[in-house]
Amino acid sequence: MNRAAVIFDLDGTLIDSAPDIHAAANLVLRAEGLEEQTFAQVRSFIGRGVPHLIRQLLIAAGHGADDARHARMTERFVAGYEDAVGLTLPYPGVAMALTTLRAAGHPLGICTNKPEAATRAVLAHLNLDGPFSVTVGGDSLPVRKPDPAPLHLAVAKLGQPKAIFVGDSEVDAETAQAAGLPFLLFTEGYRKSPVEALPHAARFSHHADLPGLVAALA
């Protein structure tokens, strides 16, 4: 029997990468002679890809209209992003949940707004790359989530007609809804809205509960 594919967001869903993103963001800000931002502020900018992150950093620094600086900072951030892995950790239960899902026959994929090379680098660093047969990053297509095209691409590459999307944020909930896929919400990630405000088929706060929720949906 063909099992439903399970496609995951990355930052805030499988891994807590905010400390590395915060450090990388402040490194770029220092290089530009701009004021560093707090951890909470940078964390609130995560989820819509690097260009959005850099734009929010510039707005916070009072330079939101500086397109040349935005392009320069984006390039510098991306250049160092693959090495920004030392402070990142998987959420508790992630490795076991992925192993359980694979053993049950579910094809697994990643659909994230993080650049593809940085995605592969952090998964390899954490020894989490093995379970995933498909990776769609924020630069894999001309558009990013919440546009459903990246999620549609991940589904097509996995070759399963039925799929479930797992994420942590408003962007992920909107993407799943636009793609017409059931959404499982990890409540301990980077969302800004109350859980009740995000459309979802089910929610979980620990990845040990994920395989059971997938089985119930699939």
C-alpha 184, offset from chain centre:
14
Structure tokens at 146: 């919440």
Exposure string for 166-201, b = 16+ CB within 10 A, e = fewer:
bbbbbbbbbbbbebebbbbbbeebbbeeeeeebebe
Task: Name the token pair of 215.
Answer: 């089985």
Q: What is the set of active-site residues?
A: 9
Residue 212 CA neighbour count, 13 Å, CB half: 7
**In one letter, which amino acid is 166?**
V
Structure token digits, residue 21: 């993103």
Which residues lie across from 135 on neighbouring strands?
110
Contacts for 142 with CB less than 8 Å, ≥ 6 apart: none
In terms of DSSP H, where are the helices of the chain?
A: 18-31, 39-44, 50-60, 67-81, 94-103, 116-125, 149-158, 170-179, 210-217
- Angle at 196 (CA atoms; ends 190, 200), nearest 5 degrees: 80
